[in-house]
Amino acid sequence: MSYQRIDDDIVLAYVDNQLDAVQRAEINAQLAAIPELHAEVATVQRLQCRLRAAFEVVDYLPVPHRRPTRTARRDRTRRLWLAGMIGVVVSMLIVATFITAQSITTPMLATQSFSTLVPLPPPSAKQTRPFTVTKPLPTGQLVFATLRDPAADGGCGRFGIYLLTSNTTPTRHLANGCNPVLSPNNQLVAYVRAGQLWVVDTAGDEERSVSDDGIVDGRIFPAWSADSRWIAFKMGRGGQTDIYRVNIDSGQLVRLTNSAAVAEDWTAFTPVWSPDGRQLAMIGSTNPWEPEENWDVYVMQGDGSELTRLTEHPAREGPIAWSPDGTRLLFWSDRDGESTNVYLMQTDGSQMMQVTHGVYDSRASWSPDGTQITLASIEDGQIYIANIERHTIKPITTGLPHSYNPIWSDDGQYIFFGAFADNGHLAWIYRVRPDGQQLAPLITTTNGLQWTQR
């Protein structure tokens, strides 16, 4: 993993707060996985605080912004080309200074491979939880990650992964890492640390690496199969990056895509399992970080066969979730050129229908009965419910800051979602009834928040 993995245009867009929520979250995850690069951005953040009149502050958390048009992105890239070149030079000097300072003040740790863990200092007796539990969880279990020690070394190891259940308060610390995802059977949590994929049981007793000798892409959340036996993820191995799956019982590792055989520079990412575990949907693209390159929705069988392209449009789009009965696929797209909206299609790519008309986040969740979806608006920061059959959409919250990634509880009684304050540092996990009643925060933190459930 190297700095070249983040395209220059994307870096410029990130610094200038011009990425959508998904892209910004992906960059944040990679920053978390590379301590030196994260330190560089932190230094730039401090410099930007003194130059607010000229630049926006780079927030650590992915506050959603309206996505600029393709023309605007291209024109802005051209205008900032010279500034970007200067920025690259300055950034390299900052990194060099940082690494030199570290080599002088900190004993170097001998590492045999990228997967070698960098130990964190033991927690101080004065150290407190980096969040506050404000309400008990009414049903089920939730996992999230937040910075437990911002000053500590170790990349993703600085994030603590916590479990919130309806039976225990306060929360339980499970492990350290990024991008935690709870298994459908609520027994295991998958996450990334030090370029490896890990699982831990929800008791926090047994932690193990399941990704062999490859380098797991820390920007992509792992995806559980519905039976909780397989995890799909993106990994670099043998000079090639592909989608893999691993059996958590046997450790069997299977490469599902062969990027080099599809097209030069083609790659796949963001895998999503079908409810029966027989298929995977994903994004496929050639040079995905180029501003003008399109992203398309692909599906393949669970063994990697029958790779099929479902969308062919000069836009960026990707899968969100399969319907509970597995017959339809929800996906996001910026095909209107101005904003991101949510669409629906059959799993063969037919009968495409636009669900939202506005500016919406690229995460959504089906109701357990498959009749409704919940999603977040980037325009007003509120949570909405769309009725698929009636073709209606309505807000169920008001007055919140930037909300994102709402999910339905397994019993359909609640919707849980994350939210960020305008400054991007104060964050919450909320609960609300589908009718908008009983809105309340469950978790409050000022240390950053990684939150996703699939």
Q: Are 126 and 161 in contact (CB under 8 A)?
A: no
The tens digit of pLDDT for each residue in 37-78 reads 655 555 554 444 333 222 222 222 333 334 444 444 444 444
pLDDT for 165: 85
| CA distance to 40, 75, 272, per residue, from 189 (Å) | 30, 43, 16
259: three-class secondary structure by DSSP: helix
pLDDT for 283: 92
pLDDT for 440: 93
The tens digit of pLDDT for each residue in 335-380 reads 887 788 999 999 999 999 999 988 888 889 999 999 999 999 988 9
One-character DSSP codes across 181-240? EE-TTSSEEEEEETTEEEEEETTS--EEE-STTSEE-TTS--EE-TTSSEEEEEEEETTE
Output the pTM of the full model.
Answer: 0.72
Most confident of 31-45, 136-150, 243-257: 243-257
Minimum mean pLDDT among 65-79, 90-104, 266-280, 402-416: which range?
Answer: 90-104
